[in-house]
Structure 1
């Protein structure tokens, strides 16, 4: 014989929290009205991409190989729009390149990867490599699990750090540079989607032609 007990969920909170909607305080009809009210045919750009920039793609290539490619910082030389000339600095794991969008702007990057979860996080910054505040969060998922077909699902999220609004280290910037990396935040979604399309095209070409996703020059 089994006995049932009340779940402890939220019992430490004596009052209903504003903004928390659960079936206990909003039945299905009420919840449906809320959901319909929040569903629109057109969304303001700031509402969609105010603090986060999420990008997703299906790539017809083996997930482990896509992960291994992404986890090598030098892959950014191929699939990003403007990061070029990667060299490893004297600090192990920290790479320096030029972001050609910023002219002679140096971009520093350290890749933090987890092979078990297949996550790849790029910790980056323009101009200086001491404070890597531009964090690009990526994950590779086996598409068989989530789409029931071979291949990879790649997610990529960028968070709007407050430094995007104002350069925190102006003394490290090259002289007379007309742009700052955060000036184009409103264009990040379209720009990153373009780069995700690059990643998809490169990986799928190599997979279709029997080539290693991670090319020999990276080994």
Structure 2
């Protein structure tokens, strides 16, 4: 099977072996490789972090897909209960006082992905999307355990609250006010995840634990 390079001949800006030589490619890549990068350039629109966890991928996935565990490894998400809508939980984000957060978990066991669809103040438009993937470390690092990746995309609502009338008070900080700290804050939470999973797995304890309260599934 092959493709016809002429199909792409009129597209400006493509860098392919048919259009530039290897030396030119290396020179261009060297230009793009900097000794340091501005924080805004790397994390201004997308925030991705990753971590190795010494725990089998199936157990890491099982832990993540059960949303009540968010109360363990996140810094501030607590008190989840059924919202009355199937699959949707309501809880509190203690990052800001008196702030409700709504969350739905979308999990794919074949791909080992777990996505948390969330929002502050209301549960109809879940625009804060936390995309997580569990990768067998044996495949990508040649070692035991798992690699966990976590990506956030800067939805326009991070820059402006779409429902200010639902805020508990006018001076309540907005979640997007913290965007520049997402890398650091999520790294703290990823380290929490790693610590919990590695402790339980190394001790021979069940990695996943039942919820204290019944929660929406």
Question: Shorter-chain TM-score: which interval?
Answer: over 0.9
Q: Is the 8 A contact 1:121 1:135 kept in 2?
A: yes
Distance in 1 between residues matched to 2:31 and 2:19, nearest whole Å = 18
1:89 matched residue in structure 2:
83
Secondary structure in 2 aligned to 1:186? helix
Report the Cα offset of residue 15 of structure 1.
1.1
Say if 2:43 is the partner of 1:58. no
Report the Cα offset of residue 17 of structure 1.
1.9
Secondary structure in 2 aligned to 1:81? coil
Report the Cα offset of residue 14 of structure 1.
4.6
1:166 matched residue in structure 2:
160
2:73 matched residue in structure 1:
79
The alpha-carbon distance between structure 1 residues 209 and 56, as it changes in their structure 2 partners (threshold 3 A), is same
Report the Cα offset of residue 25 of structure 1.
1.3
Report the Cα offset of residue 16 of structure 1.
3.6
Q: Is the 8 A contact 1:54 1:189 kept in 2?
A: yes
**TM-score normalised per structure 1:** 0.93
**TM-score normalised per structure 2:** 0.94
Distance in 2 between residues matched to 1:148 and 1:106, nearest whole Å = 42
Secondary structure in 2 aligned to 1:12? helix
Report the aligned-residue RMSD.
1.5
Structure 1's consecutive aligned runs of 4 or more residues displaced over 3 angstroms after TM superposition are 9-14, 216-219
Q: Is the 8 A contact 2:53 2:148 kept in 1?
A: yes
1:180 to 168, 174, 183: 174
Secondary structure in 2 aligned to 1:101? coil
Distance in 1 between residues matched to 2:5 and 2:17, nearest whole Å = 13
1:21 matched residue in structure 2:
15
2:195 matched residue in structure 1:
201
Say if 2:146 is the partner of 1:152. yes
Report the Cα offset of residue 9 of structure 1.
4.5
Secondary structure in 1 aligned to 2:100? strand
Q: Is the 8 A contact 1:102 1:177 kept in 2?
A: no
Q: Is the 8 A contact 1:54 1:156 kept in 2?
A: yes
Report the Cα offset of residue 108 of structure 1.
0.3
Structure 2: which 5+ residue stretches go unaligned? none
The alpha-carbon distance between structure 1 residues 177 and 47, as it changes in their structure 2 partners (threshold 3 A), is same
Q: What is the count of residue pairs matched by the alignment?
A: 213
Q: For residues 107-156 of structure 1, give each alpha carbon's deviation from its aligned partner in whole angstroms, at most 9, with x where no partner exists.
A: 00000000111100000000000000000100101111111111011011
Structure 1: which 5+ residue stretches go unaligned? none
The alpha-carbon distance between structure 1 residues 179 and 21, as it changes in their structure 2 partners (threshold 3 A), is same
Q: Is the 8 A contact 1:123 1:134 kept in 2?
A: yes
